[in-house]
Amino acid sequence: MEIHPSLLTYWIAHLMGVEDLHHFAYKDHIIAAGLTFVLLTVFGLVLRARMSLVPGKAQQVMELFVSGVYGLLEENMGKEGRKYIPLIATLGLFILISNLMGMVPGLSSSTGNYNTPVACALIVFVYYNFQGIKEHGFGYIKQFTGPIWWMVPLMLPIEIISHCARPFSLSMRLFMNIAGEHLVVGIIAGIAPWVIPIPLMALGLLAACIQTFIFVMLTTLYIAGAKSHDH
């Protein structure tokens, strides 16, 4: 499938004097991810400098977002879930902004390229297994062996395959929904540019939020499951 760079990528390539634009187009998701990172970093620094007891609109939005993440963590892990806010909230914000950037003319969504969802999913995979080992030590292997010793030869390969499939399912779900939504909107925009894309963009906004919530929810459940003692 031919890759078309966003206007931002085209502009950067022009400034850098790149002649092979087709090859440079494959860096489109890297530029989009970098822009997301810069925007979130600048926004965080500015927000921290302006924090007050009487919050402004930006602070209210962030407090609402963090409260929602904490509520999700507390529901699944109790008060201990608070310490996982930095990772899960950061992932949630990055994915949400990346999803929404694809709806802005001239920009593209880094989550619309499979590499970015895979990177996020691998971070989750490594992190929740690390937390499981940290919590249980060598006993973490019991989560893969099942409750009955004589079922270990059956349960162990099943559980290993199940856990290894999580990054694939987590990343594929995000990628397919975001890439598919952008593709459909782009096709229909070429057919009826002033009528049909408006409700589709509303659905795209909803999809961006839902996919972010699903990613955050599954990450929370994976961490809670890894640390659970009910095995």
In this prediction the pTM is: 0.86
How far, in Å, CA of 147 to CA of 42, rounded?
Answer: 49
The pLDDT tens digits for 174-208 are 998 888 777 776 666 666 666 556 677 777 788 88
How far, in Å, CA of 182 to CA of 211, rounded?
Answer: 14
Backbone angles phi, psi at 195, to 5 degrees: -120, -65
pLDDT confidence band for 1 (50 / 70 / 90)? very low
The pLDDT tens digits for 30-53 are 888 999 999 999 998 998 888 887
Contact between residue 182 and residue 102 where contact means Cβ atoms under 8 Å apart: yes
Contact between residue 73 and residue 82 where contact means Cβ atoms under 8 Å apart: yes
| pLDDT value, residue 203 | 77
Residue 65's Cβ-side half-sphere holds a number of Cα atoms within 13 Å equal to 20
**Can you say whether the dihedral through the CA atoms of 125, 166, 171, 209 is positive or negative?**
negative
DSSP secondary structure string, 3-28? Answer: ----HHHHHHHHHHT-S-HHHHGGGH
Residue 105 has what DSSP assignment? T
| Tokens 């022009």, residue located | 14
